[in-house]
Amino acid sequence: MNSTETVLKMIFDRWDGSIKNCDAILSSLSDEQLQKEIAPGKNRGIYLLGHLIAVHDDMLTLLDMGNKLYPELRKHFIDCPDKAVAEIPSAKELRAYWSKQCEVLKQKFESLQPGQWLEKHTAVSAEDFAREPHRNKLNIIITRTSHLQYHVGQLVLLK
C-alpha cells in the first residue's frame, strides 16, 4: 500500500465509522424521538436527518458522480430552517432515503481510483484548483465526515 492509499484508507475508515455511528443512533431512536428538538428552540432530529441526506446528496454532483437522488430535499433541509416548511417527508421515508443514499455513495466511492480523489471537485474552477490543489474530492469527504459527526453528536441528545 503506497502513501496515497494509506491516507485514503484512514479517511474512508473514519467516514465508514461515522456512517455506522449514525446508523446505530438512528436505529436506537423512535420516529417519535426524532420529532423532538435537540434542545428547546433548536432543530428537531427529523430535520437533522433530512439535512444530512440533503448535504450528502450534494456530494454526488460536487464529486461529479451523477445526479442527486433527492433534489427536492434541499429546499426543506438546507435552504429553509426547521419548521419553515409545513410538510416534510416522514421519518420512515427519510430513514429509507438515508439507507439508499449511503449505499449509493459507498458504491460511487469504491468506483474511484486513488488518484481520482486528488482531482478537483465541481465547485472549484481549474484556475483556483491550480493555485489550491487541496480543494479536491478527498477534502470534500473530510469536511463531510466532520459535518456528519457534529450532527450525530446532536442526535445522541435525543436519547
Which pTM does this prediction carry? 0.96
Domain at 64, CATH number: 1.20.120.450
Which residues does 12 contact at the CB level (< 8 Å), separation at least 6? 109, 141
| Residue 34 CB-density burial (10 A; 0-12 exposed, 13-18 middle, 19+ buried) | buried
Structural domain tally of the chain? 1
DSSP assignment, residue 124?
S
What range defines the domain where residue 125 resides?
Answer: 3-156
Which phi and psi (to 5°) does residue 58 adopt? -60, -30
Summarize pLDDT for 96-128 with one digit per residue, the tens.
999 999 999 999 999 999 999 999 999 999 999
Summarize pLDDT for 123-140 with one digit per residue, the tens.
999 999 999 999 999 999
Residue found under cell 434541499:
74
Of the candidates 31, 37, 43, which has an alpha carbon nearest to the alpha carbon of residue 90?
Answer: 31
Residues of the chain with pLDDT under 50: none
